[in-house]
């Protein structure tokens, strides 16, 4: 729609926007931009969604994710997820129902209580539950010995493949261009009066011109950005998750479970998809258990059986691996680099690289759209700007 002042229409030139990467973050930004009829081209090196979003455990949460501003960012995004699901207008495999976890030692219980106190002081819905309450909620879990347990009722998980496929279908229907199997080799930059400006991206086949380039290439964002003088530190964090074939329901109440963090590896998270597949992740953000072999996956599944006897006999149907996109301090980079010349790169590159990108994608698409199309500056993104890495 053309905005008006009084009776005179104000015609704004539409910037040409190229989004590099069609994982869940790129798909969300493309979707929100296309709602505003923006001129968008999405370029993906592969089939959309086959990198981190494919291997992701896809738990939607803010648990507890300090510092406070990062917790709040995730929290806001959790609240946006239902709206995005509604917008997508189809079944994208969201399962709400909350997260359950327990501890087995006195120290573990004490840490859990501290963590709950912190989250409750931030107003996050999570509470301690008794062993009897846990058994009532999930009679199929073996939890002995149990020293403490919590339930976070607002958390859930999603089918990333379904979200990305649906979002990109709508994006194309609204006229955006989607180039798949097309790797961006680099960004093209023009320097005028000492100031660099990105003019497009270079693929094997063509130059794709752009007024603004959105970097949503996950783990590969760093390389593309570094090439034009916008380097940042990145944590090397390989991730892996396994899937079983569809199984009868394993949960009565909750959506996902963490096995005790005070037991030795593999510390696991597991969830059941709407089609019955069980997905298991072992490890932490800073590295998954068993990155290397199918034997690792089979070992993890055997370990899970100790807590969930109902999965006895299940096999490893799929074993997915990907590098997590994780800037050096573990926090997202969202937005343009500052334009005060304190970095060596162009300023019309919009960063959107993050871990917890599944939790955050719903919100990031909305706020990135405001910053890209309206030149807004969203204040709650200030802790997540590129420039925090300058001079580090």
Is residue 52 close enough to count as binding ligand FAD by CB under 6 A?
A: yes
Q: What residue has token string 């005060």? A: 340
Is residue 267 close enough to count as binding ligand FAD by CB under 6 A?
A: no
**146 or 366: CB nearest ligand FAD:** 366
Number of residues that bind ligand FAD (CB under 6 A): 44
Shortest reach from residue 95's CB to ligand FAD, in Å: 13
Of residues 39, 44, 85, 159, which one binds ligand FAD by CB under 6 A?
Answer: 44
Residue 181, Cβ density class (10 Å: 0-12 exposed, 13-18 middle, ≥19 buried):
exposed
Which whole-number Å values give the CA distances from 349 to 72, 192, 199, 259, 276, in the listed order?
A: 25, 16, 10, 41, 41
Of residues 20, 109, 112, 362, which one binds ligand FAD by CB under 6 A?
Answer: 20
Rounded to 5°, the CA angle 44-327-45 comes to 10
Among the residue ranges 24-32, 119-127, 243-251, 382-390, the one whose residues contact ligand FAD (CB under 6 A): 24-32
Cα(243)–Cα(161) distance, integer angstroms: 14
Q: Which of residues 110-169 bind ligand FAD (CB under 6 A)?
A: none
Is residue 222 close enough to count as binding ligand FAD by CB under 6 A?
A: no
Is residue 345 close enough to count as binding ligand FAD by CB under 6 A?
A: no
Q: What residue has token string 């405001």? A: 370
DSSP-based three-state secondary structure for 6 = coil
Is residue 22 close enough to count as binding ligand FAD by CB under 6 A?
A: yes
Shortest reach from residue 27's CB to ligand FAD, in Å: 7
Q: Which long-range contacts (CB under 8 A, 24 or more apart) does 377-380 make?
A: 378/335, 380/69, 380/72, 380/73, 380/76
Shortest reach from residue 113's CB to ligand FAD, in Å: 24
In the bound complex, which residue of the shown chain has the CB atom lying closest to ligand FAD? 23
Of residues 34, 103, 234, 241, which one binds ligand FAD by CB under 6 A?
Answer: 241
DSSP-based three-state secondary structure for 84 = helix
Is residue 325 close enough to count as binding ligand FAD by CB under 6 A?
A: yes
**184 or 349: CB nearest ligand FAD:** 184
Are 177 and 201 a contacting pair, CB within 8 Å?
no
Is residue 196 close enough to count as binding ligand FAD by CB under 6 A?
A: no
Residue ranges in the chain assigned as alpha helix (H)? 24-35, 52-55, 68-88, 106-121, 131-137, 160-173, 221-226, 294-305, 357-373
**51 or 212: CB nearest ligand FAD:** 51
Cβ neighbours, 10 Å, residue 207: 11
Peptide bond into 84 cis (omega under 30): no
Among the residue ranges 32-40, 43-51, 246-254, 340-348, the one whose residues contact ligand FAD (CB under 6 A): 43-51
Q: Give the residues lining the site for ligand FAD (CB under 6 A).
A: 20-26, 43-46, 48-53, 55-59, 183-184, 216-220, 224, 239-241, 281, 288, 322, 324-325, 354-359
């Amino acid at each position: 729609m053309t905005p008006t002042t009084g009776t005179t229409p104000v015609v704004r030139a539409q910037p040409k926007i190229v989004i590099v990467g069609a994982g869940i973050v790129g798909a969300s930004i493309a979707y929100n931009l296309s709602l505003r009829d923006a001129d968008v081209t999405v370029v993906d090196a592969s089939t959309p969604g086959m990198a981190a979003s494919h291997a992701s455990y896809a738990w939607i949460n803010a648990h507890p994710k300090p510092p406070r501003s990062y917790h709040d960012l995730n929290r806001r995004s959790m609240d946006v997820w239902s709206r995005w699901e509604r917008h997508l207008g189809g079944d994208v495999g969201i399962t709400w129902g909350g997260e359950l976890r327990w501890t087995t030692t006195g120290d573990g219980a004490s840490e859990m209580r501290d963590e709950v106190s912190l989250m409750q002081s931030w107003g996050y819905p999570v509470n301690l539950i008794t062993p009897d309450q846990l058994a009532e909620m999930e009679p199929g879990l073996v939890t002995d010995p149990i020293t403490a347990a919590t339930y976070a009722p607002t958390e859930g998980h999603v089918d990333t493949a379904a979200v990305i496929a649906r979002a990109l279908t709508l994006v194309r229907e609204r006229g955006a261009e989607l180039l798949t199997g097309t790797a961006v080799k680099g960004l093209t930059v023009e320097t005028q009066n000492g100031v660099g400006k990105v003019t497009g991206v270079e693929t094997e086949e063509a130059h794709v011109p752009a007024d603004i380039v959105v970097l949503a290439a996950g783990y590969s964002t760093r390389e593309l950005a570094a090439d034009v003088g916008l380097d940042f530190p990145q944590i090397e964090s390989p991730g892996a998750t396994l899937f079983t074939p569809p199984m009868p329901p394993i949960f009565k109440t909750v959506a996902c479970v963490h096995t005790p963090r005070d037991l030795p590896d593999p510390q696991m998270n597991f969830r059941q998809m709407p089609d019955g597949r069980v997905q298991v992740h072992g490890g932490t953000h800073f590295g998954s258990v068993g990155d290397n072999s199918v034997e690792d996956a089979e070992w993890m599944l055997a370990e899970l059986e100790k807590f969930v006897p109902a999965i006895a006999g299940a096999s490893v149907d799929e074993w997915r691996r990907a590098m997590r996109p994780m800037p050096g301090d573990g926090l997202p980079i969202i937005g343009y680099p500052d334009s005060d010349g304190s970095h060596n790169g162009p300023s019309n590159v919009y960063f959107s690289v993050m871990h917890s990108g599944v939790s955050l994608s719903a919100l990031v698409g909305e706020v990135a759209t405001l910053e890209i199309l309206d030149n807004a500056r969203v204040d709650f993104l200030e802790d997540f700007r590129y420039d925090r890495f300058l001079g580090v």
